[in-house]
Structure 1
């Protein structure tokens, strides 16, 4: 299977440690612009200050992907991991456990929205998870991402909020999707 997937003017490839700075910059732009319709500026600033947009360790695992255009610009990101997200402590008892396969850090550059970038990344994430024997993927969606995940077949399990240290509550939705096995995909 090809390591890179070519899509409408961009490729989906495994993220590399050298990409982290560009990934974070794109993710923060995405959070401010696309999340701005769903969250107050103070809540976005607090969340980004306290947790950021991703944990570097998920890139090292090899299940994190970027969409890159022909000029090398990062247009989107996302992956899956069994590592517990940094924000999980803010979820209280509803936080994920360390061994639960979780979709993480799916973002699209605001200039690249409505081009299928997030859907293409999620397709690659799901295919990779199936290849590694994952039966169900879980995620904690920001409010700006819920519609995308519902469109991709994820079902809402619980509305919740990350409690930030300044007592701000950052609303999110826990979601999950059962993935087809390789045998089911071949049938």
Structure 2
């Protein structure tokens, strides 16, 4: 079941995000990069909760995944990564963002991510957007490619402790059919 996330979900989501990153990023990032990213980048973006564009997926009463879309400028990162106000995007000229997608390792590769991305794309389309962008972690790239996203550029996110996290900016244009 997909539903909108609430502020009551945030403690559970922060735990899920850390478990997702630790469980699914091995082999793509070093342990130091993983821990640094959890501390400095990955987390809930409360603006998505406020905007009503952040979702959770529940399986048997357990939150198995979270993710959303945004009509704001930030490409990636939770509250701890943002320093300024996040301005609204213009659907006629800007791409909506796929944001803060995390699946608990126990629920990975069961179609949950695909289901959640589709829900976000549908919502963004219904809000007038024709293009989506995202900042993918390396373990997420294969899923996004299967969903029709194309790599645009590699971003080396410099973290405050000196670690560098590779992120791939990806883009998808909706067909006008």
Question: Per the shorter chain, which TM-score range?
Answer: 0.7 to 0.9
Number of aligned positions between the proteins: 165
Match of 2:39 among 49, 61, 65: 49
Cα distance between partner residues in 2 of 1:86 and 1:137: 13
What is the DSSP-based 3-state SS (H/G/I as helix, E as strand, rest coil) of the residue aligned with 2:139?
coil
Aligned residues of 1:66 and 1:74 also touching (Cα < 8 A): yes
TM-score between the two structures when normalised by the length of structure 1: 0.81
TM-score (norm 2): 0.86
- Computing the radius of gyration from Cα coordinates, the structure with the larger value is 1
Mapped pair 1:161 → 2:156: yes
Tell me which stretches of 4 or more aligned residues in structure 1 moved more than 4 Å.
85-88
Of residues 135-144 and 54-63 in structure 1, the stretch that sits farther from structure 2 once superposed is 54-63
On the 8 A contact 2:42/2:77 being kept in 1, the answer is no
| Structure 2: gaps spanning 5 or more residues | 90-94
What CA deviation, in whole Å up to 9, does each residue of 1:142-174 have, x standing for no partner?
000000000000000011210111221100100
Distance 2:77 2:103 in 1: 20
Give the secondary structure class of the aligned counterpart of 2:100: strand
- The answer as to whether partners of 1:58 and 1:83 remain within 8 angstroms in 2 is no
Q: 2:51 aligns with which of 45, 55, 61?
A: 61
> For the aligned residues, what is the CA RMSD?
2.1
Residue 179 of structure 1 and its aligned partner are, at CA, apart by 2.0
Cα displacement (A) at 1:83? 4.4
Q: How far apart are residue 97 of structure 1 and its match?
A: 7.7
CA distance in 1, matches of 2:152, 2:87: 16
| CA distance in 1: counterparts of 2:134 and 2:103, whole angstroms | 16
Question: Which segments of 5 or more consecutive residues in structure 1 lack a partner in the other structure?
Answer: 1-10, 91-95
